Structure 1
Amino acid sequence: MSPPPHQTQLPDWDGLKLRVRTLIGSHRVMIFSKSYCPYCNKVKELFRSLGVEYYALELDVTADGPSIQQVLVELTNQRTVPNVFVNGRHVGGCDSTFQAYQNGSLQKLLGDSKDAEPYEYDLIIIGGGSGGLACSKEAAVLGKKVMVLDYVVPTPLGTSWGLGGTCVNVGCIPKKLMHQAALLGQALQDSRKYGWQYEEQVKHNWEIMVEAIQNYISSLNWGYRVSLREKSVTYLNSYGEFVEPHKIKATNRKGQVTYHTAETFVLATGERPRYLGIPGAKEYCITSDDLFSLPYCPGKTLVVGASYVALECAGFLAGLGLDVTVMVRSILLRGFDQEMAEKVGAHMETHGVKFIRKFVPSQVEKLEEGMPGRLKVTAKSTEGPEVFEGEYNTVLIAIGRDACTRNIGLETIGVKINEKNGKVPVNDEEQTNVPYVYAIGDILDGKLELTPVAIQAGKLLARRLYGGSSTKCDYINVPTTVFTPLEYGSCGLAEERAVEEYGKQNLEVFHNLFWPLEWTIPERDNNTCYAKIICSKHDNNRVIGFHVLGPNAGEVTQGFAAAIKCGLTKELLDETIGIHPTCAELKQGGTNWMQVTSGAVQALVSRLNHSKTSK
């Protein structure tokens, strides 16, 4: 019978209490939830990642949901959702559930810990690059049982390498050493003006350089293995792939498979170069993964791309005396300050590097075998019907890098990735959407792809997990340097980014051309080195962007980075007394920033050195 008009049927409180108690008692995990609640979804994701079944009652779509929530208030004194029960015991809301997971009490509630099979390791790290190694060693020092899995999938040409990741083997280390080889060639040219006399014709031997660099890298590989062994970290040269929650499959080069479990995992798989999807790309072209151990001089080289990897490689190859051309689809050094990027390109062009702008390759064909052989490249204009054809000994592709996340079983355990770029979204503690899985390094979505950042993040993550620390990695105002022939150091915002964030009218930009004293005697590049700072007008002219082109730019930038971290202002910069004569010295007063090191160009620089609100 329906209730009389204008009367409300009172809830059957005894029946509701019995229903709630029955739900709690008949389900291993019972979650009282609301379908739109993000905290409820987060808790459900936790149990899914643990491979634990749960029953969720969505109170917002249940007819007597409000009444059930009132029963829960009386039962638990908790008014919010999610309201979680495990094996009949009240756990609490989202924060309480995650806290129970972190301290292990949730796992004990889920089953008798005496009967449960313990994890083999406290921590397994997938990836033996700089970040993964730093994290593993720190965790081991803090008393945890740690395993590192590291496996290099060979390039299409068969190139592989040892422990240490991209930076050590095919990145920062060999790149800087080859850059140094090119600088020595320039120094030889300069030396005649300084009085050095030599009759023997100077030429470069590629094989000797590569052998020396590879010998040094091999010593680093061995040193990393020794360091892991000394800290009792288990190292497997095996490919890691998740097969179920907390369990990973490891396959070595011989195809032998082992399985390992851990309470926590860290993804540190890094990135690998991206190939063009055109005929002949993988068959005949190389990437930076191949270049640094190439057993023969590459000869006449086409570099495809305008990334920092592309320009650095083109720069040192040209510095070694090779014929080098760079094919650019759009802009140089995307993501960097574009005024500085164009100056880098202009300097390279002045020193013999040729640029083909607004073209992309469409086919690479082999014309002749050899070491190097001979290749034909066909390219299409990005702005019209024009077609370019050229012959080269080597084609180096440097168009970007892809995260190594798509073939390690992340979908099996529910770890989400950005489908567009394969990178892993994390919170401010490098934690993925699956609570026991973390990620560091180049694979992080929206973070910096720099070796020191990965190292710092790895160390701090281990300290938070096992050392009671709460310190997080700071990704703001991280300095970096592009080792092109004219080095480019930066810290903070590019001018384009600063305009986006602050608005043109709120910025003051100071800039300066300078001439390194060392370059005056050889009389070279007397109006090329350049620096600028970008300041926030309404924040006491605080420096929010620092950019410098010149020799030893990395060494110069490092010191300024510390000052910027401390809130450097233009006034403090002007008050700082510089070291004379250096490229980094400062000039007090006015709007001058970089002290001129040569009286011969004082007049030129004084005219060019001025402040500007916008360009």
Structure 2
Amino acid sequence: MLRGFGARPARDGSERTSDPLPSLEGVIAHLRLLPPPPAAPGAGSGSCRGRSYDLLVIGGGSGGLACAKEAAQFGRKVAVMDYVEPSPQGTSWGLGGTCVNVGCIPKKLMHQAALLGSALKDAQHYGWNISQPVHHTWSVMAQGVQNYVKSLNWGHRVQLQEKKVKYFNIKGSFSDPHTVCGLTKAGKETVVTADNIVIATGGRPKYPMDVAGALEYGITSDDLFWLKESPGKTLVVGASYVSLECAGFLTGIGLDTTVMMRSVPLRGFDQQMASLVTEHMESYGTKFLKRCFPTKVEKLKSNRLQVTWKNADLDTEETDSFDTVMWAVGRAPDTKTLNLETVGVKTNSETGKIIVDASEATSVPHIYAVGDITEGRPELTPTAIAAGKLLAQRLFGQSSELMDYDNVPTTVFAPLEYGCVGLSEEAAVQRYGSDNIEVYHAFYKPLEFTVAERDATQCYMKMVCLREREQRILGLHFIGPNAGEVIQGFALGIKCGATYPQMMKTVGIHPTCAEEVTKLHITKRSGLDATVTGC
């Protein structure tokens, strides 16, 4: 209501409505006397004045959404700013971040498609009559996966609306420590101000810029899950879990797939387990070009891609042609357009990641960061979600609880899954010394592999423990079916400080693969055969 006009409070507190309405000329004259409204900080000359929020989250992935929704639970005014820059190949997607759109969710569904292919082969040994040849149709799988992902995009939009979180589909950048501005697709400037800002923009796949033709002709995981047609004969370059998981399910649905690795597989994971994963993939049908690195990609008249690479071991140059070349050579934080240096947010010059303290705070008070964009944190969806929620609780819920990044379980969804929690054997030895470490291990055969006569050579587990006193468990590593489901339960025990004697007192569920963990008794130090036989 305009000041000085309309209904006025009466002396008894009620509202007087009997005053005559002012004339239009009177309103205009009054407005001329009012001072101009204050400009929003950093609003500049944009067509939209700044909006003020208690919390602005930049990035609509797992960590950012979790933080925003949790903050809204405390009745705070919250906004989320998210924009997906299309990949160099033009692929884009909706709200939800990497995990929902081009990561965990489509990856696990396509991994499931590959597992079903293996199950069809097993089924014949169990009496099922499967007509041959069995054929996989990429477009049917892709449509089903993409439809599910789109339903998750919509679900996130609905959740934000229900929690009264404002959503801006805008790529923003800082203009000052409290102000973020950006342009809509229509070119309209939007300026948002907030008391607290959380950066959660995640990462995007890297391209090897020293390889001619890499950007023009290659794809990444940002594109693979949204392909309408089969990628055909595929070269996957990289030794990361992204590389091995994608190559694994491509092989599993019947595609000719090759992995090119410059160095060791699954760097950062236990290297004995990593070797077993790649050994199984080779026996499963994935080809490996080890100690090789590409030098150029060229498009042939047939539209196939000719790749030239060097073999470091043989010191030779080799070539082959593929239908698709996929780069899985690492990920980079998506920070380039944020203008972080202007507001003083410090980053690691080598990785580009944002430096944060134990409370997820950056070098600038009231600016925080969570998820893959932060230095020294695991690049995992559940850790980003947990960190985002805890941050909101500290900001608005009078909590002081910090995120605990120790003993975070994870799984590599290779054809034979690898799950782990805690320290690798190498990390344990480095931290405590080899004389202070005891490793219990076993090769085992899943019961479901027996009738189907499946090879179980790489089904293996090991428990890394301290030797002294209670023999506290430092790490558990498991390769086999449903590794994620197996490790999840044991992760609780290890988080709570479980010891080897406690594990041995745990009764296993028979007949399962997980029960073998409760029966580990052969140490590496003993040199005895670690193969499990019988019950």
Q: CA deviation at 1:202?
A: 1.6
Separation (CA, whole Å) in 1 of partners of 2:397 and 2:116: 46
Q: AA paired with 2:426?
A: E
Deviations 1:196-215 (A, max 9, x none): 01335320000000000000
Matched, 1:284 2:214: no
Separation (CA, whole Å) in 2 of partners of 1:513 and 1:291: 35
1:258-269 aligned at under 5 Å gives the runs 258-269=190-201
Matched, 1:272 2:194: no
Separation (CA, whole Å) in 1 of partners of 2:122 and 2:313: 42
Separation (CA, whole Å) in 2 of partners of 1:200 and 1:358: 38
Separation (CA, whole Å) in 1 of partners of 2:131 and 2:166: 55
Deviations 1:86-131 (A, max 9, x none): xxxxxxxxxxxxxxxxxxxxxxxxxxxx999797111110000000
SS at match of 2:86: coil
Matched, 1:376 2:271: no
1:247 and 1:259 in contact (8 A); partners too: yes
Sort the Cα spacing of 1:468 and 1:588 in 2 relative to 1 into closer, same or farther, 3 A: closer
Q: CA deviation at 1:609?
A: 4.8
Q: CA deviation at 1:568?
A: 1.0
Higher relative contact order, chain-length normalized (CA < 8 Å, sep 6+): 2
Sort the Cα spacing of 1:274 and 1:588 in 2 relative to 1 into closer, same or farther, 3 A: closer
SS at match of 1:446: coil
Q: CA deviation at 1:255?
A: 2.7
1:312 and 1:483 in contact (8 A); partners too: yes
2:218 and 2:324 in contact (8 A); partners too: yes
1:515 and 1:528 in contact (8 A); partners too: no
Q: Which residue of 546, 549, 558 corresponds with 2:476?
A: 546
1:120 and 1:260 in contact (8 A); partners too: yes
SS at match of 1:181: helix
1:376 and 1:392 in contact (8 A); partners too: yes
Which residue number in structure 1 is paired with residue 327 of structure 2?
397
Q: AA paired with 1:546?
A: L
Which residue number in structure 1 is paired with residue 74 of structure 2?
142
Which residue number in structure 2 is paired with residue 129 of structure 1?
61
2:472 and 2:499 in contact (8 A); partners too: yes
Q: Which residue of 94, 97, 102 corresponds with 1:170?
A: 102
Which residue number in structure 1 is paired with residue 113 of structure 2?
181
Q: Which residue of 216, 224, 228 corresponds with 2:148?
A: 216
SS at match of 2:514: coil
Which residue number in structure 2 is paired with residue 306 of structure 1?
239
SS at match of 1:607: coil
Sort the Cα spacing of 1:151 and 1:589 in 2 relative to 1 into closer, same or farther, 3 A: closer
Sort the Cα spacing of 1:330 and 1:539 in 2 relative to 1 into closer, same or farther, 3 A: farther
2:307 and 2:321 in contact (8 A); partners too: yes
Separation (CA, whole Å) in 2 of partners of 1:287 and 1:385: 28
Which residue number in structure 2 is paired with residue 347 of structure 1?
280
Q: AA paired with 1:554?
A: G
1:573 and 1:586 in contact (8 A); partners too: no
Sort the Cα spacing of 1:589 and 1:495 in 2 relative to 1 into closer, same or farther, 3 A: closer
SS at match of 1:213: helix
Q: AA paired with 2:480?
A: G
1:337 and 1:494 in contact (8 A); partners too: yes
Sort the Cα spacing of 1:416 and 1:202 in 2 relative to 1 into closer, same or farther, 3 A: same
Matched, 1:323 2:256: yes
Which residue number in structure 2 is paired with residue 230 of structure 1?
162
SS at match of 2:180: strand
Which residue number in structure 1 is paired with residue 172 of structure 2?
240
- Stretches of structure 2 that go unaligned for 5 or more consecutive residues are 1-36, 42-50
Structure with greater Cα Rg? 1
Separation (CA, whole Å) in 2 of partners of 1:125 and 1:587: 42
1:574 and 1:592 in contact (8 A); partners too: no
Separation (CA, whole Å) in 2 of partners of 1:117 and 1:206: 51
Separation (CA, whole Å) in 1 of partners of 2:246 and 2:519: 40
Q: CA deviation at 1:475?
A: 0.2
Which residue number in structure 1 is paired with residue 289 of structure 2?
356
Sort the Cα spacing of 1:251 and 1:353 in 2 relative to 1 into closer, same or farther, 3 A: same
1:272 and 1:404 in contact (8 A); partners too: yes
Q: AA paired with 1:345?
A: T
More displaced 10-residue stretch of structure 1: 442-451 or 253-262: 253-262
Deviations 1:324-376 (A, max 9, x none): 1110000000000000000000000011111111111110000146xxx4100
Sort the Cα spacing of 1:588 and 1:136 in 2 relative to 1 into closer, same or farther, 3 A: closer
Q: Which residue of 169, 184, 187 corresponds with 1:252?
A: 184
Separation (CA, whole Å) in 1 of partners of 2:404 and 2:466: 21
Matched, 1:334 2:334: no
Q: AA paired with 1:527?
A: T
Q: CA deviation at 1:133?
A: 0.3
Separation (CA, whole Å) in 1 of partners of 2:507 and 2:346: 51
Q: AA paired with 1:567?
A: G
Deviations 1:156-213 (A, max 9, x none): 1100000000000000000000000000000000000000013353200000000000
Q: CA deviation at 1:252?
A: 2.2
Separation (CA, whole Å) in 2 of partners of 1:151 and 1:227: 18
Q: CA deviation at 1:143?
A: 1.0
Q: AA paired with 2:361?
A: Q
Q: Percent identity?
A: 56
Sort the Cα spacing of 1:351 and 1:582 in 2 relative to 1 into closer, same or farther, 3 A: same
Q: CA deviation at 1:586?
A: 4.2
Separation (CA, whole Å) in 2 of partners of 1:542 and 1:582: 24
1:135 and 1:458 in contact (8 A); partners too: yes
Which residue number in structure 2 is paired with residue 473 of structure 1?
403
Which residue number in structure 2 is paired with residue 419 of structure 1?
349
SS at match of 1:120: strand
Q: AA paired with 2:489?
A: G
Q: CA deviation at 1:233?
A: 0.3
- Stretches of structure 1 that go unaligned for 5 or more consecutive residues are 1-113, 594-604, 611-615
Which residue number in structure 1 is paired with residue 386 of structure 2?
456
Sort the Cα spacing of 1:424 and 1:589 in 2 relative to 1 into closer, same or farther, 3 A: closer
The CA RMSD measured in Å over matched residues stands at 1.9
SS at match of 1:316: helix
Separation (CA, whole Å) in 2 of partners of 1:147 and 1:573: 46
Q: CA deviation at 1:407?
A: 1.9
SS at match of 2:300: strand
Taking structure 2 as the reference length, the TM-score comes to 0.88
Separation (CA, whole Å) in 1 of partners of 2:262 and 2:280: 19
2:522 and 2:530 in contact (8 A); partners too: no
Sort the Cα spacing of 1:387 and 1:247 in 2 relative to 1 into closer, same or farther, 3 A: same
Q: CA deviation at 1:588?
A: 6.3
Q: CA deviation at 1:592?
A: 5.3
Sort the Cα spacing of 1:592 and 1:358 in 2 relative to 1 into closer, same or farther, 3 A: closer
Q: AA paired with 1:130?
A: S
Q: CA deviation at 1:250?
A: 1.9
Separation (CA, whole Å) in 2 of partners of 1:582 and 1:383: 42
2:120 and 2:130 in contact (8 A); partners too: no
How many residues get paired? Answer: 483
